[in-house]
Amino acid sequence: MHELSIARALIEAAATAARDAGAQRVTRLRCRVGALRMVDPRLLGEAFAAAREGTACASAELDVTPVGLHGRCRACDHDFSISGWDWRCPICGGEGEGLTAGDELELVSIDAETSDEG
């Protein structure tokens, strides 16, 4: 299950960012995951819950935003949602090219707490 390795990478990145900012613990992570990454958000959440124990993210929540496939029409330059692997432009019927969304795996933001001292 590659969700576990993704969860571990998110935790490591969040913990490093929190430490660099002087934070004591991470309370929330927000990430975007594209459809091409073939990540099951439920499995990612379960993997995150298991992997966060003993880390700066031990009590953190994980928010996952799925991102669908989008392409750009080479004829009219329209950016459109790809449904059922149909790459035809819904405006002009031209062939789409260049994926503009759907391959993301991004840690978008974290919420963290600092100690009350100092």
The dihedral sign for the CA sequence 38, 44, 47, 52: positive
C-beta separation of 48 from 41 below 8 A: no
Whether 72 is in a domain gets the answer no
Residues whose CB is less than 8 angstroms from the CB of residue 100 and which lie 6 or more positions away in sequence, other chains included: 70, 71, 72, 79
Whether 32 is in a domain gets the answer yes
Whether 92 is in a domain gets the answer no
- Show the domain range for 63: 2-67+103-113
Whether 47 is in a domain gets the answer yes
Number of structural domains (the chain) is 1
Q: What is the CATH number of the domain that holds 42?
A: 3.30.2320.50
Whether 86 is in a domain gets the answer no
pLDDT tens per residue across span 97-118 = 888 999 999 999 999 998 764 4
pLDDT tens per residue across span 74-100 = 999 999 999 888 889 999 999 888 889
Whether 27 is in a domain gets the answer yes
